[in-house]
Amino acid sequence: MRLLHFCFISMLTVLVAGALLGTAQLTSRPNSSDPAHPFNTPGPVAKPASDAQFDLWREQIRSALFLPKRMPAVAAREYGTFVPMSGVVAHRVTYASQYGMRVTAIVYTPAHAHGRLAAIVVVAGHGGDKTTWYEIYAGLLYASAGAVVVTYDPVGEDERNALHLSDSRSHDAVLTGKESPPRLGGVMVGDVISAVNYVVSLPSVDPNRIAVLGYSMGSFHAALAAALDQRIHALVLSGGGDLDGNGGSWDTSRKIMCQGGPYQALSDLPDKAAILHALHQRSGSTLILNGTADNLVALPYHLESFFADLSNRVAALAGTKASLIEYVFYPGIGHRPSWVNRDAAAWLNTKLHFPRWQNLSLDSLGETHISEWANSTGATINKGYDSEATEGGIRAVGKGFPAPDREQLQVIPEAEWQAHSEQYTWQGLAKQILLAQGLSATEVNPAATTGAR
């Protein structure tokens, strides 16, 4: 039986205007054998932080990740549509990112929709992209519910890979230059914000009903984007959300370019995990979905007691402006993107009010066993994650969904892509990151496809 744990944060009744952090913020608790607060996370602050302090932290995060205060103009281009299933239209789209780069995306929309719609941005884990099963399924599921859903290629994957490879993890290839990891991580966080910019530019989208779903590596980028972008009202993190302190699991991630380095760049924040979550909780809500057997989430430390402690610190920082942090632990379950299951779908429906799910029981939509669905449709589950305990075992809301093939999910005509490939690929971005530091870009291998796993 599932164990559902909701952390109901006790709200402080008084927000002291202009209050700075109390001395409790400097208290160190470095005992990594204590499951309640490992990795040198400080205790709760004595007083909430002021609005001005939160604004300052937000600017500090942007600066550390080399993110501009204003992202590039959307400059969206559409390359045609197709109908993957009845009631859903898929749009082939690109939009602008940093360093002159562009993002390739499939945007799923409900056919014949009326009124302003909610929007969802899906942020992939390592090796994932818009052709991966969970991006496709989330796109079809939530577009059929009545939302606009953006699925996109992280830099280094699919159309943002020099050879159009998926699960290549090219963005893990380490570049010289001390600014390279936070700059690359900043781009990946910025790509989430650029996706929000894109949906906000659509006349059909309600800017007050925007959600972001992040899995694994994507949970990290989504959490940072939500801390910076107050337009993100609902945040669902799976296989992650467990941000910790200096020297912790995220700081020491072997994924130096996209996780470890960028998180280390935030180490001057007094309690970076609590600050990042508090920045979002003051304007939105978070649901975290993890398994008790997920060995990529710093077991055995990052379970219920970890999140209870984190939530107390968030509440102390944000005071009465904080919403609840909610979390679910699935017994015996490993690493997986659970934001297509019933818990996530029901939570999102309460936050986003999907027009096609009002006055409807989610049980009536049926259920899909993902490994069986992938086997029957040809949808791609990345290598090593097709087991019952991980992605393959997910029971997703909905039944009878198709899976568009890889060719259908390609956005840019080949001739145009060949002419402008450096606007999309890791190689093009890597050169720009090195040049921004005054370094030579000759080290970037035009044939590089795979980074360190």
Residue 364: phi and psi, rounded to 5, are: -70, -15
**Is there a domain that residue 451 lies in?**
no
pTM confidence score: 0.91
Average pLDDT over residues 289-293: 97
Pseudo-torsion of CA 254, 255, 257, 258, nearest 10°? -140
**Is there a domain that residue 447 lies in?**
no
The token pair that represents 35 in the structure block: 């499951």
Which tens digit of pLDDT belongs to each residue from 368-405?
999 999 999 999 999 999 999 999 999 999 999 999 99
**Is there a domain that residue 104 lies in?**
yes
Query: For residue 22, what pLDDT is reported?
Result: 32
pLDDT band of 43, cuts 50, 70, 90? confident
Largest CA distance in the chain: 61
SS3 category, 21: coil
Compute CA 418 distance to the chain's CA centroid, rounded to the nearest angstrom. Answer: 29
**Is there a domain that residue 175 lies in?**
yes
The token pair that represents 382 in the structure block: 């990345």
Q: What is the CATH number of the domain that holds 182?
A: 3.40.50.1820
**Out of 39-48, 83-92, 276-285, 357-366, which region has the weakest mean confidence (pLDDT)?**
39-48
End-to-end CA distance of the chain: 34
pLDDT band of 200, cuts 50, 70, 90? very high
**Contact assessment for residue 212 and residue 226, using Cβ atoms and an 8 Å cutoff:** yes
Q: Which domain holds residue 421?
A: 3-436
Q: Provide the domain count of the chain.
A: 1
Which tens digit of pLDDT belongs to each residue from 73-112?
999 999 999 999 999 999 999 999 999 999 999 999 999 9
Which tens digit of pLDDT belongs to each residue from 209-238?
999 999 999 999 999 999 999 999 999 999
Query: For residue 193, what pLDDT is reported?
Result: 98
Cα–Cα distance between 364 and 339 in angstroms, integer? Answer: 18
**Contact assessment for residue 20 and residue 50, using Cβ atoms and an 8 Å cutoff:** yes
The token pair that represents 320 in the structure block: 């009465």
Cα–Cα distance between 179 and 201 in angstroms, integer? Answer: 31
